[in-house]
Amino acid sequence: MAAIVDSYDAVLLDLDGVLHRGARPIPGAAESVVALRSRGARPVFVTNNASRTPGQVVAHLASVGIEAAVDEVITSALVTASALAERGLRRALVIGQDGLLEALAERGVQSVGLEGDPEAVVVGLDRGVTYERLRDAALAVQRGAAYVAANPDTTFPAENGNWPGAGALAAAITAAAGRSPEVMGKPAAPIFRVALARAGGTRPLVVGDRLDTDIAGAAALGWDSCLVL
């Protein structure tokens, strides 16, 4: 029997809110990934969450019953790090966790404080951020540093509700500095294009739970999408 996915050769799957919610698996998600693979659709796991490394993403997916390989994972941290490296930016004041810090380091971008004369301010999800760090980031932006957000998500879906996301942290800097960041994650095009290149397909289906990021980004590129309610 034909299925919708048979019209596509790549499926770009969001994670938080689609395959799991925090540590809790979403019913049917693991079985759906197995079914996609059995029908020849190449899945790529695409997340705006810049706090985890690809290896940590794979481990978390395994904990909710989903098998994935590291080279099937695209995070907004990887896309952000590549963009900075390609522009020759080597010193960044970073608000973020392991995933973002490791991705930047692997591309030769050093994490520095305000006293290190940052060429860029990079913002991702950071559960340990302090007022002082936000203050320094705002000052660096005011002094002319490039301003990049790994993603614009104002909320992060957790088991007990929505937590402030990277976009909420960036909003504080934007309000103080008077400049908006360049966004690398969904709905911006860079992360979608990198994910499709990784899948090796030409006819992608984007699966997500957010109209403002997953679905809007796919629509802007003229790609089909599937909204998980």
Which member of 6, 9, 16, 98 is catalytic? Answer: 16
Q: 61: which residues sit within 8 A by CB, 6+ positions away?
A: 15, 19, 20, 45, 67, 68
Q: What DSSP letter does each residue of the chain carry, written as one string?
A: ---GGGG-SEEEE--BTTTEETTEEPTTHHHHHHHHHHTT-EEEEEES--SS-HHHHHHHHHHTT----GGGEEEHHHHHHHHHHHTT--EEEEE--HHHHHHHHHTTPEE--GGG--SEEEE---TT--HHHHHHHHHHHHTT-EEEES---SEEEETTEEEE-HHHHHHHHHHHHS-PPEE-STTSHHHHHHHHHHHT-SSEEEEES-IIIIIHHHHHHT-EEEE--
Q: Residue 165 phi/psi, 5° resolution?
A: -100, -170
117 assigned to active site: no
Q: What are phi and psi of 162, to 5 degrees?
A: -90, 130
Among this protein's residues, is 16 annotated catalytic?
yes
Annotated catalytic residue within 6, 14, 71, 136? 14
Catalytic residue list:
14, 16
